[in-house]
Structure 1
Amino acid sequence: MAGPVTPTPKLIDVARWLWIASACVGMLRFVVQLFDRETLVAEARRQNPAMNQDQIDAGVNGGVLFGLLIAVAVLLAYTRLANTMARGRNWARIVLTVLGGASVAFGLFRLGAWASGVAAELGVEMRAVDLAVTLVTTVLDATAIVLMYRVSAHFRKRVTVDSTFLRT
């Protein structure tokens, strides 16, 4: 018989949903970009001027399908990691910290490049919706990281329970 189930601390539950929300926002923006067929075809034509229209269409279709598969896999991975973290697994918290830290660093870099004008000088177009998504996901990820570490006892308790179980 299993021991009593301890409820997930509120901050951990909020962090879980922030991770999932961040992944959903990022995936939604990526999917919108995938369905901008005109831009994808124009870019394929620019990169491969010798290709005919059938080849370009096939390449774009394959790229969209592959992109959708990757987007779903990333969303599932983040959801699984967030749920595992909420159950008190410290390794999931560490993985999310590394992924989220990279996301926050990249987001701050992107926002800084836009704000300083460096992106424009390099010819990189940054649309308002891209900046908004970057800002939202950066804030969501940073907040989720902070919340996970505000309730470190949740993870220590889990380690103690696991090690006790292993000794029996």
Structure 2
Amino acid sequence: MSDSTDLPRFPQDVSPGPAGAATPRPGTINGAFWAFLAATVISIVSGLLVLTQRDTLADALRKSDTGLTAQQVDQATTVALVAAVVIAVIIALLYLLFAVKLRAGRNWARIVLTVLTALQVLSLLAGSGGSWIGYLSCLAAVIGVVLSFLPESSAYITAARTVRR
């Protein structure tokens, strides 16, 4: 069992100094950032793959017995696909913003990313029909959460909070 003195220590009272020097960012925070970035990219790819499901969506609309004409089915399919892609891009951009803020040492971003990842895991466990790409994105996000809560990351976030005060 290792002693807690083996862990890197970040100063608890860090001042930016004359040049505004920041607390060194540990590799765990960088790793968490890249894991969340990977989860974001994978999610965008997943969102774009929805575009390949046009025929499946149109068939589902036709079978729903809504009395839609062929032109209405085509329009509804287009609107649904565009909406899905726009929503995926907006969510990905927000996820990216949170990852950047985590990298800057913001604890609130770590909490938001943890909640979003927990919701993603719950969604997959609830059997929402996740695909392999959804599981891959979830795995990357879980790795990001774990890395963001390691002792080095917590010390960095605490030190960054002290610098901002």
TM-score range, shorter chain: 0.7 to 0.9
Q: Choose the corresponding residue for 1:14, options 24, 31, 34.
A: 31
Matches within 5 A, 1:22-101: 22-101=39-118
Alignment-mate amino acid for residue 153 of structure 1 = A
Letter in 2 for 1:45: R
Would the aligned equivalents of 1:35 and 1:64 in 2 still touch at CA under 8 Å?
no
Higher helix share: 1
Deviation at 1:141, TM superposition (A): 1.6
Partner of 2:138: 138
1:138 Cα deviation from its structure 2 partner:
2.6
Residue 2 of structure 1 deviates from its aligned partner by 4.8
Aligned mates of 2:58, 2:25 — CA distance in 1: 48
- Equivalent residue of 2:22, what SS? coil
Matched, 1:154 2:159: no
**Does the CA-based 8 Å contact 2:62-2:73 persist in structure 1?**
yes
Taking the aligned partners of 1:95 and 1:77, their CA distance within structure 2 comes to 10
Please report the RMSD computed on the Cα atoms of aligned residues, expressed in angstroms: 1.8
C-alpha displacement of 1:135: 2.7
Query: Which stretches in structure 1 are left out of the alignment for 5+ residues?
Result: 111-123, 164-168
CA shift, 1:97, in A, is 0.7
SS at 2:149 equivalent: helix
Q: Unmatched 5+ residue regions in structure 2?
A: 1-17
1:12 and 1:147 in contact (8 A); partners too: yes
Task: Give identity over the alignment, percent.
Answer: 29
Q: Contact between 1:34 and 1:40, CA under 8 Å: does it hold in 2?
A: no
Q: How does the TM-score come out when normalised to structure 1?
A: 0.79
* Higher relative contact order structure (alpha carbons within 8 Å, sequence separation ≥ 6): 2
| Candidates 103, 108, 112, aligned match of 2:120 | 103
User: Counterpart of 2:89 in structure 1: which amino acid?
Assistant: V
| Cα distance, 1:71–1:56 mapped onto 2, change above 3 Å | same
SS in 2 for 1:36: helix
How far apart are the structure 2 equivalents of 1:62 and 1:77?
Answer: 22
| TM-score normalised to structure 2 length | 0.80
